[in-house]
Amino acid sequence: MNVNYLIVAAVLAIVLALIIFIIRRNKKDEKKFEQDVIDTELGPEKDDKENA
């Protein structure tokens, strides 16, 4: 049985690129989620008191 190393290398490169993309996307989404949680915890009441 012959193994075509070019195809194996291409598949591994695609899988590695996909994993890196998913990790970066997850970190970006996590930062956005944390900011949304912080914004909702502060609420508009605190902003209104500071502006008044």
Count of structural domains, the chain: 1
Report residue 41: phi and psi, to 5°. Answer: -70, -35
pLDDT band at 14 (very low <50, low <70, confident <90, very high): very high
Residue 50 lies in a domain: no
Q: Residue 7: which domain range? A: 1-40
Tell me the per-residue pLDDT of 23-50, one tens digit each, with 9 for 90 and over: 999 999 999 999 888 888 876 655 555 5
Residue 27 lies in a domain: yes
Q: What is the pLDDT of residue 1?
A: 76
**Does residue 45 or residue 13 have the better pLDDT?**
13
Residue 49 lies in a domain: no
DSSP 8-class letter at 14: H
Residue 52 lies in a domain: no
Residue 47 lies in a domain: no
| pTM score, whole prediction | 0.62
